[in-house]
Chains A and B, each alone.
Chain A
């Protein structure tokens, strides 16, 4: 094999996103339904402290908490940080302050956004009030943000003394019992040196694995190291293109995101010279005639990174003993 400079390592974005659902349970259900009705609920702990947002279990005693109270839509900033460059999905599109707000009647502070013209207009101790969203569905975003509010500030509120917030039964018509919380993570993925070289090989329709210098097994696809011996694999070895079906299943139900007509055969294929089997679809033969030991070769389609499927070569089946360690 000729000496070639190492290829540029591949990279690509990997976006992981899913609309997770949340069953709320009684306390969060009351809290979020309350927001929809422009009511902010807290929960009273065994020691009498009012927690906003409310929780189901006492952080100090582990007791079940169900004593809901209504607190005010006005409050005091307890601390803050300026956000000069909001990211997509944040509460406001223009620069704003992240604030912790202790609502009047609450003993703890709630994290939210404060709409303010600049950091010079924000200070700890300033009075703020909720700006409700026009469309409310029973979500924390029903509070669009906080805004500055001029009033005669009440005395320091601990949620335990005077101005004790009123009890609330948490009952609303048509309560919200579950929410959907779409989550998204943006990664940059690199398959690394070994798989990059493997992928460049596939682009030339060649399958090139790497041999472990210790146990001499050829890894396809290569991972850069032998998981058994724990040493780097550096010796590149072309395998296949032909191989043997070592085991398989017949897929009778369509998997999501796969545009393959069922039934089809999903097989483990040991390419000639490889130390373990890779996975692929078998075509060019009725699904019920596929068998262990069937000899196959890859079928490529234009522009595809991997073989579309494998088809019979017409050779006699391989003897079980030749592939029984490669299932």
Chain B
């Protein structure tokens, strides 16, 4: 028996900000969920199951927060489950929900991811003082900066590329009312003049710390037929994992990432991603990861990713727009960041992205990764139902 086609018929986000002191965690997730239901013109009674995700519990210090969120998400009397794959979790959560529909376990599933970073300190949550171990000597960006330098050495990329990405994403965010950072006076010169925190990573090339949630309603073909607005159809989805550290690990282009992309493309019948995909929402926590992932995801040959960025190909009006929403560089409620990528890809193919809509987008890729380049999750969505 073939899989049930999966449609995204409702999407909701909170307006992401540094601190939502006016709401509890329950109030935060509720807001995104209600917006997704309203978009789909459905009620709690129409939802058969809830799949929720967030980053590690230490980030807010609420152990298994999903237990107390069942009331807020209308999950009482229904299956509710939690997905846990570090920074990629928003993507993995959406895929678990999609698989429940594809397998005809449930017809309509609410999926949601969140983070309330203001309640805690993610850097603390990631650097517990484990006895006998050498502490990380470099702070948040120090884990990533050496990999960026390795990329520059491998490809010969000029050191100007990182600032171009940040400048682009922050300008895109100005067109997205839900984005956290709205730097109206941003200029390339300001990005280039921002402090060099972890050379080669500048302050303006790093992601913010945000409070926010994102929700989607996924449904089957019959559900899509009843939907009031266009659906985004899931054409392919995959997850891959690999250890954070092992001999031969390629941090610049992790194999788990390229394998994951290849699986998604195979499912979706994509043979030339650069030509066949109209928009990409990729997980870029530091600006240099755009050219790195362009190569890892097969949009450019090895060593060529930075050339696409430099030539403006990934700009909003380029022929492969990357992060029209402003991306993680403009909005980062960690657990939700992956789902925002997936949701923004879906908004593009639904034609519902508003001011940052890419005209005529028919296929879009949502990408997430996390856990020291350990977990990858991706989906490819289209404006038309999958063939077959």
Contact = CB atoms under 8 A, between A and B. Distances in A.
B296 to A, nearest CB: 15
A94 B245 CA distance: 49
B26 A325 contact: no
Contact of B196 (A60, A195, A252): A252
A292 B199 contact: no
A260 B354 CA distance: 48
A15 B136 CA distance: 18
Contacts of B246: 226-228, 276
A266 interface: yes
Contacts of B142: 249, 251, 255, 266
Interface string A199-230: 10000000000001001011100000011100
Interface in A257-316: 257-258, 260, 263, 266-268, 275-276, 279-281, 292, 305-306
A252 B134 contact: no
Contact of B21 (A57, A178, A266): A178
Given A20-B61, A62-B44, A275-B247, 10 more contacts: A14-B130, A21-B119, A21-B120, A23-B22, A57-B72, A199-B132, A247-B146, A249-B141, A276-B248, A324-B154
A253 B149 contact: no
A251 B138 contact: yes
Interface stretch (B7-15, B121-129, B231-239): B121-129
A306 B134 contact: yes
Contacts of A280: 134, 137
A255 B139 contact: yes
A56 B131 contact: no
Contacts of A263: 199
Contact of A18 (B121, B130, B145, B248): B121
A252 B139 CA distance: 10
Nearest to A58: B71
A202 B125 CA distance: 28
Interface residues of B, number: 65
Given A21-B120, A320-B153, A56 B26 contact: yes
Give the contact-size bracket for chain A.
Answer: 35 or more
A305 to B, nearest CB: 7
Interface string A170-182: 0000000110010
A7 to B, nearest CB: 13
Contacts of B73: 62
A14 B153 CA distance: 39
B27 interface: yes
Interface string B241-257: 00101111101100000
Contact of A13 (B19, B131, B141, B148): B131
Contacts of B135: 257-258
Contact of A14 (B76, B129, B245): B129
B212 to A, nearest CB: 13
Contact of B27 (A56, A258, A276): A56
A57 B132 contact: no
A253 B139 contact: yes
A227 B241 CA distance: 12
B350 interface: no
Given A57-B71, A62-B76, A14 B131 contact: yes
14 contacts: A13-B131, A18-B58, A23-B23, A24-B24, A25-B26, A28-B24, A59-B71, A247-B146, A250-B199, A253-B195, A253-B197, A276-B249, A325-B248, A327-B147
A108 to B, nearest CB: 13
A249 B73 CA distance: 44
A80 interface: no
A19 to B, nearest CB: 9
Nearest to B60: A20
A57 B30 contact: yes
A325 B139 CA distance: 25
A215 B145 CA distance: 29
A85 interface: no
A128 B265 CA distance: 66
Interface of A: 10, 12-16, 18, 20-26, 28, 55-62, 64, 177-178, 181, 183, 189, 191, 195, 199, 212, 215, 217-219, 226-228, 246-253, 255-258, 260, 263, 266-268, 275-276, 279-281, 292, 305-306, 320, 324-325, 327
B137 A279 contact: yes
A220 B142 CA distance: 20
Interface string B43-82: 0100000000000001011100000001111101000000
Contacts of A61: 44
B139 A251 contact: yes
Contacts of A226: 246-247
A279 B149 contact: no
A55 B71 contact: yes
Contacts of A12: 131-132
Contact of B72 (A56, A60, A195, A279): A56
A260 B300 CA distance: 40
A255 B137 CA distance: 8
A244 to B, nearest CB: 13
Contacts of B137: 251, 255, 258, 260, 266, 279-281
- Determine which residue in B118, B243, B246 has the highest number of CB atoms from chain A within 10 A of its CB, and name it: B246
Contacts of A199: 132
Contacts of A253: 139, 195, 197-198
A189 B131 contact: yes
A263 B70 CA distance: 48
Contacts of B23: 23, 25
A20 B26 CA distance: 16
A121 B84 CA distance: 47
A280 B137 CA distance: 7
A305 B132 contact: yes
Contacts of B201: 249
Contacts of A60: 76
B332 to A, nearest CB: 18
A102 B141 CA distance: 51
B111 to A, nearest CB: 16
B116 interface: yes
A59 B68 CA distance: 10
B150 interface: yes
